[in-house]
A and B are shown apart, each in its own frame.
Chain A
Amino acid sequence: MVRAVLAAGNIGPKWLYWPWVTSHLGEIRSRLTEHVELTFLAVGFGLLIAVPLSLMSSRFRRLYGPVLAVTGALYTVPSLALFALLLPITGLSRTTAVIPLTAYTLLILVRNIVTGLDAVPADVKEAAAGMGYSRARQLLRVELPLAMPAVVTGVRIAAVTTIGLVTVTALIGQGGLGQLLLDGFNRAFRTPLTVGIVLSLALAVLTDLVLVGILHVTTPWRRPVGRRSA
C-alpha cells in the first residue's frame, strides 16, 4: 500500500498535495459535517443533563459532592475504553460514540454552571424575591442570565475538548475528521493527515469564537458601551 502511493509520483511524504484536496472536497465536507454533528449532539445532550444537575447541586448542596464524584469518575475513564465497554450493548453505532462524548462534557459543564450560579450576589436574589418573583422566575430571569459568563465558559471548554475527542470515534467507524487522520496514517499519505489536523484546529477556534460572540450578544449588560445608568 505504501509503495503503491509512493510509486504514484512520490506524493506520500508531501504534507499537502493539493490535487488530492480538490478531488476529495466531497469527502472532506462529509467528514467535517460528521465531526460537527457529533460535537453538537454531545454538548447538546451534555447541557440537557448538566443544567438540571447543576440547578439541583446549587440548591441542595449535599448533592454537589456526589455529582462531582460521579461525573469525575466518568471523565477519568479513557474514551477508547468507554467505547469498548459500550460496544456489546450499542454496537458500532453513533450511539456508542455519543454516550461517552456526552459523559465527558458533564464534569466541565456542571462545575462551571454551579460556579456561575454560586457567584450570583445574595442581595440580587433578595431583591428579586422582594419584587415578588417566584422561585422559577427568579431562576430564569435573574440567576441564569447572571451566570451566563460561567455557563458559556463551560460550554466553550466542553466544545473544544469534545472536538478533540471526536477524532477518536473514527476508530469505531463513526467518521469525523479522525477518519482523515487514520487514512493518512494507514496509507502513509500525509495530505489527509494535514487536512484533518488543520480542520479540527480551525473548527475548535471557530467554535470558541462563536461562543464568545453568543455570550456577547446574550449579556448586553456586560458591555461597557451604551450602558444606561439606573
Chain B
Amino acid sequence: MFSFLNNVGAFLTDSAHWHGQESIPNLFLQHLQLTAVSVLAAALLTLPLGVALGHLHRGGVVAVNIVNIGRALPALALLILAVQWTGITPPSGLLSPVRSLPAFIAMVALAAPPMLANAYVGVVTVDDEVVEAARGMGMSGFQVLRRVELPIAVPLIMAGIRTAAVAVVATATLAAYVDAGGLGRYIVDGFAVQDDVKVFAGGLLVALLAVAVELTLAGTQRAATSPGLRLAGRGGSRADAPVVAPAHGSLA
C-alpha cells in the first residue's frame, strides 16, 4: 500500500505529467473549460426562463418534472445520445474552448434542469405579502422582479448553479470517453491499460477539483446572498427547499 501511494506521488510529480498535451495543467484546463462553457450556456438558456415563469407563477409542474426526469436519465446515456446526434466532433466558433460537441450538449442538458427549477422556485416562493407591499409602494411588475423578487431568489438561484456546476464537473470526467479530454483522461486511459496508479491519480485529481468547485461556489453563494436574508437565516433554509431536494448545494 505504501509503495502504491509512493507510485501515485511519483506519477503526480513526474515532470512528464506537467508538460505537453496529456499534462495535468492541460487536462485541468480542458476540464474547467468544458464545465464553464456548458454551465454558462445552460444558465443563459434557463435562468431567464425560470425567473420569468416564477414571476408569472406559471409552468411550475413542468419545471419540477423536468428535474425529476433529469434525475432518472443517466448522465452516461445523455453523453452517448449526444454522440449519436452529432458524432464525435470538435465544435467551432464561440464553443471552441470545448473539445467535443457531444460532451458540450450533454453537459448543457445535465446542467439545465436544476438551474431552471431553482430559478423558478426561488422566484415563485417569494412571500406574496412582500410582493404586494412592493406593488403597494407603486413598483411596476418589472421593478418588483428586479428589486424584490430577484434579490430574495438569489440564494436559490445560486444553489441551482452550484448543483449544476458540481454535476457537470463530475460528469465531465465521463466525457473523456467521447474525446472531450479533461482529468477523466487519466482514469479512462488507466482503466484501459490496467494501470492502477494512473487511475488512482486521476481519481484523486478529479475528486480534489470537484470539492474545490463546490467550496468556491458555496462561498460565492454566501457572498451573493443579501445581508438581510443572511441575518434572517432565510438564505440557508431556502437553499434547502425540498422541491430541489438532493441538491449538491446542501451545505449552505
Binding site for B on A (CB under 8 A): 68-69, 72-73, 75-85, 87-88, 107-108, 111-112, 115, 153, 157-158, 160-161, 163-165, 167-168, 170-172, 178, 181, 184-185, 190, 193, 196-197, 200-201, 204-205
Instruction: Quote the shortest CB–CB distance from A57 to chain B (angstroms).
Output: 14
Instruction: Quote the shortest CB–CB distance from B232 to chain A (angstroms).
Output: 19
Instruction: Quote the shortest CB–CB distance from A199 to chain B (angstroms).
Output: 11
B112 at the binding interface (Cβ < 8 Å): no
The A-contacting residues of B in range 141-190, CB under 8 angstroms, are: 166, 169-171, 173-174, 177, 184, 187, 190
- If A77-B210, A78-B169, A81-B187 touch, does A167 touch B251 (CB 8 Å cutoff)? no
B196 at the binding interface (Cβ < 8 Å): yes
A181 CA / B74 CA spacing, docked (Å): 10
Q: Is there contact, CB below 8 Å, between B173 and A87?
A: no
B214: A residues at CB distance < 8 A: 76
Q: Is there contact, CB below 8 Å, between B74 and A165?
A: yes
Q: Which residue of A lies closest to B190 (CB)?
A: A84
* Residue interface bits B12-25, CB-to-A below 8 A is 1, else 0: 00000000000000
- If A72-B250, A85-B207 touch, does A78 touch B76 (CB 8 Å cutoff)? no
Q: Is there contact, CB below 8 Å, between A163 and B72?
A: yes
B4: A residues at CB distance < 8 A: 88
B245 at the binding interface (Cβ < 8 Å): yes
Instruction: Quote the shortest CB–CB distance from B100 to chain A (angstroms).
Output: 14
A160 CA / B74 CA spacing, docked (Å): 10
Closest 3 CB pairs of A and B: A84-B203, A78-B170, A204-B72
A127 CA / B171 CA spacing, docked (Å): 50
Q: Is there contact, CB below 8 Å, between B211 and A73?
A: yes
* Residue interface bits B108-128, CB-to-A below 8 A is 1, else 0: 000000000000000000000
Most chain A beta-carbon neighbours within 10 Å: one of B75, B166, B245, B246: B246
B206: A residues at CB distance < 8 A: 77-78, 80-81, 84
Q: Which one of A68, A76, A201 lies within 8 Å of B210 (CB-CB)?
A: A76
Binding site for A on B (CB under 8 A): 1, 4, 68, 71-77, 80-81, 83-84, 166, 169-171, 173-174, 177, 184, 187, 190-191, 196, 199-200, 202-204, 206-207, 210-211, 214, 240, 242, 245-246, 248, 250-251
Q: Which one of A73, A165, A185 lies within 8 Å of B83 (CB-CB)?
A: A185
Q: Is there contact, CB below 8 Å, between B211 and A77?
A: yes
A87: B residues at CB distance < 8 A: 196, 199-200, 203
Q: Which one of A69, A76, A157 lies within 8 Å of B248 (CB-CB)?
A: A76
A181: B residues at CB distance < 8 A: 74, 76-77, 80
Q: Which one of A84, A107, A205 lies within 8 Å of B250 (CB-CB)?
A: A107
Q: Is there contact, CB below 8 Å, between A197 and B210?
A: no
Q: Which residue of B lies closest to A177 (CB)?
A: B74
Q: Which one of B77, B190, B248 lies within 8 Å of A200 (CB-CB)?
A: B77
Q: Which one of B171, B240, B251 lies within 8 Å of A78 (CB-CB)?
A: B171
A85 CA / B187 CA spacing, docked (Å): 10
Instruction: Quote the shortest CB–CB distance from A23 to chain B (angstroms).
Output: 22
Q: Is there contact, CB below 8 Å, between B80 and A69?
A: no
Instruction: Quote the shortest CB–CB distance from A77 to chain B (angstroms).
Output: 5
A170 CA / B187 CA spacing, docked (Å): 14
A107: B residues at CB distance < 8 A: 246, 250
Instruction: Quote the shortest CB–CB distance from A170 to chain B (angstroms).
Output: 8
A112 CA / B242 CA spacing, docked (Å): 9
Q: Which one of A82, A115, A160, A185 lies within 8 Å of B71 (CB-CB)?
A: A160
Q: Is there contact, CB below 8 Å, between A80 and B74?
A: no
Q: Is there contact, CB below 8 Å, between B200 and A185?
A: no
Q: Is there contact, CB below 8 Å, between A167 and B71?
A: no
* Pairs across A and B, CB under 8 Å, 25 listed: A79-B170, A80-B170, A80-B173, A80-B174, A80-B203, A81-B210, A82-B203, A83-B203, A84-B187, A84-B190, A87-B203, A88-B1, A115-B242, A153-B245, A160-B68, A165-B74, A167-B75, A167-B77, A168-B75, A171-B174, A178-B76, A193-B84, A200-B72, A204-B71, A205-B72
